[in-house]
């Protein structure tokens, strides 16, 4: 969707410097070479950004709608499969349009109330039975502490200028 008309020369210059696969702007040489006032370039690029934001919002809404349909379809598939398993109770079924059979599989289950006991046992017996996640920094909490005056080694508060286009 186009909210604003973008000057074709500016659009083409930016497209020439943009990676077609990633959308990343790699070169502004073509834009800078245009004999157009800075105000015109700035206004057109700002309006293009507004267009892209609008597109992004629409795409995210479509994605969310699509994800909701995927979840709904998955739930229906799971429910119908469970119902069919319940009705057939392990019996095979065959017709001209479908064939239902079963295959054996194995999986490990640990009851929720036994999980901590298993972890304790595995740590003492064979810790290769466990996987550990790397810790993550809680930057929000860290920022709060640093603003309160705590001296935190290896981290620093950086003030940035964030562009606002409306």
**The three-state (H, E, C) secondary structure of 52-77, written as one string:** HHHHHHHHHHHHHHHHHHHHHHHHHH
Domain annotation covers residue 157: no
Domain annotation covers residue 144: no
Query: What value does the mean pLDDT of the chain take?
Result: 88
Most confident of 4-8, 45-49, 149-153: 149-153
Neighbours of 16 (CB within 10 A): 12
Helix (H) and strand (E) counts in the chain: 5, 2
Domain annotation covers residue 22: yes
Give the range of the structural domain holding residue 67, as residue numbers without chain letter: 8-100
Q: What b/e sequence results for 62-78 when a residue is b if at least 16 CB atoms lie within 10 Å of its CB, and e otherwise?
A: eeeeeeeeeeeeeeeee
Domain annotation covers residue 109: no
C-alpha to C-alpha distance for 82 and 110, rounded to whole angstroms: 22
The answer on pLDDT for 8 being more than 70 is yes
More confident residue, 60 or 20: 60
Domain annotation covers residue 123: no
Name the domain count of the chain.
Answer: 1
C-alpha to C-alpha distance for 4 and 122, rounded to whole angstroms: 62
Q: How confident is the model at residue 140 (pLDDT cuts 50, 70, 90)?
A: very high
C-alpha to C-alpha distance for 51 and 6, rounded to whole angstroms: 10
C-alpha to C-alpha distance for 32 and 35, rounded to whole angstroms: 8
Domain annotation covers residue 138: no
The answer on pLDDT for 49 being more than 70 is yes
């Amino acid at each position: 969707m186009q909210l604003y008309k973008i000057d074709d020369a500016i659009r083409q210059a930016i497209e020439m410097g943009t990676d077609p696969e990633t959308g990343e702007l790699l070169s502004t040489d073509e834009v800078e070479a245009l004999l157009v006032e800075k105000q015109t370039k700035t206004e057109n690029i700002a309006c293009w950004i507004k267009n892209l934001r609008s597109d992004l919002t629409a795409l995210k809404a479509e994605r969310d709608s699509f994800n909701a349909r995927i979840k709904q379809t998955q739930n229906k598939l799971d429910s119908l499969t469970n119902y069919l398993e319940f009705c057939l109770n392990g019996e095979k079924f065959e017709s001209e349009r479908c064939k239902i059979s079963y295959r054996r599989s194995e999986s490990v289950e640990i009851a929720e109330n036994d999980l901590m006991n298993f972890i304790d046992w595995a740590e003492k017996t064979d810790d290769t039975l466990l996987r550990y996640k790397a810790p993550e920094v809680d930057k929000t909490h860290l920022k709060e502490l640093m603003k309160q005056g705590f001296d935190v080694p290896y981290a620093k508060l950086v003030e940035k200028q964030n562009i606002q286009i409306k």
